[in-house]
Chain A
Amino acid sequence: MSAFNDITKNGFWKQNPLLVQLLGLCPLLAISTSLVNAVSLGLATILVMLLANFAVASLRALIPYEIRIPVFVLIIAALVTVVDLSFNAFLHDLYLVLGIFIPLIVTNCIVLARVEAFAAKNGLAAATLDGVMMGVGFLWVIALIGGLRELIGQGTLFSGIEMIFPALSGIQVLPLDYPGFLIMMLPPGAFFTLGLLIAGRNWSEARANQRRLNQLKQAEHPGDKPAENMPPFTA
């Protein structure tokens, strides 16, 4: 069971596709202009990663190692096409919102990366879970960036939600005369936000490491005070 725990933690935090592996920047730049767009793409990505990892893990015995890359690309492209067509036919309202994003998932190298690094070497259940959890890791980061960019860039949240749920409408968070902050809506805004999030993650990791180190030292030399020569991290 602990293997499944690790897979979940890896996708969510330790090997987060956007914060640690830095994969999937192309859709991140294009789509994270609003919370609704970001969550929509994140959900579609989870679906495709689940299907891709499942398909590759179940077919891996049949795929010769030397030509695995073209076969993976073929499988992913075929699955994205099928998802695209099915959404268009059976979930048309959602397709009108997500439609332009679904083909973009092919450009998301996180799908190919997980297929190659994980699904091709692991069992069906583990590979499927990995696909979902990596997708979830992608979803929460792109949603956070989308929300921040939308809030700072145009002062709203959930704008465009009426296209998915006609009863709801976006929220004007900042005053109506908020002038907007254009660069946040343009691609550089995505880079700035992502950079700050990565810095924040690295900082919190470094802090946790430092605490663990101090605890080890305390355990070895119970009488000593915590190391004085190390500058303490302050919040």
Chain B
Amino acid sequence: MHLEDYKIIDLFLERSEQAITELDRKYGAAVKKTAANILRNRQDAEEIADDTYLGVWNTIPPQKPDPLVSYVCRIARNLALNRYYANHAAKRNGNYDLVLDELEECIPSGINLETEYEAKELSEAINRFLATLPGEDRILFVRRYWYACPVSELAAMTGSSPNRISVRLFRIRGKLKKQLTREGFLP
């Protein structure tokens, strides 16, 4: 039986080490999966999980995140990406690069995305787009491009073939590109 989020947060606020145990028990699998999808290495994913818990420990308090799961996964993703970029500084051949290659297709040609401000604008546009997608498409899209889930895993999850999932993601990317263009997301 897992503790409810607010109880886990209370443990963090009380500086009880039990907080880490409960957090790992409840969200350990999601944290490790998020890291493993990006790094493709179980050992690295375990280390990222430990670093994530430390990150949560250092930020609660003052933070009181709600929902806790996205807060924790976000820290894990950022840490995993930092390690990924360090490991793949000179080459572009990792799993996550495939994800980025696909994401690049969504961006209308002419957008350079060179500043933090542009990234923020794009992020807001993606949020607006996600809110319009049917539930299953949205989950597929976020699982692929945020959690970096392999297509084969998405196929297994939905009882579909990998090819069908690829085509479905391709169509969703096309919709995003169309929406970004329609919103005037051009230089």
A and B associate in one complex? no
- Taking beta carbons and an 8 Å cutoff, which residues of A are in contact with B? none
- Taking beta carbons and an 8 Å cutoff, which residues of B are in contact with A? none
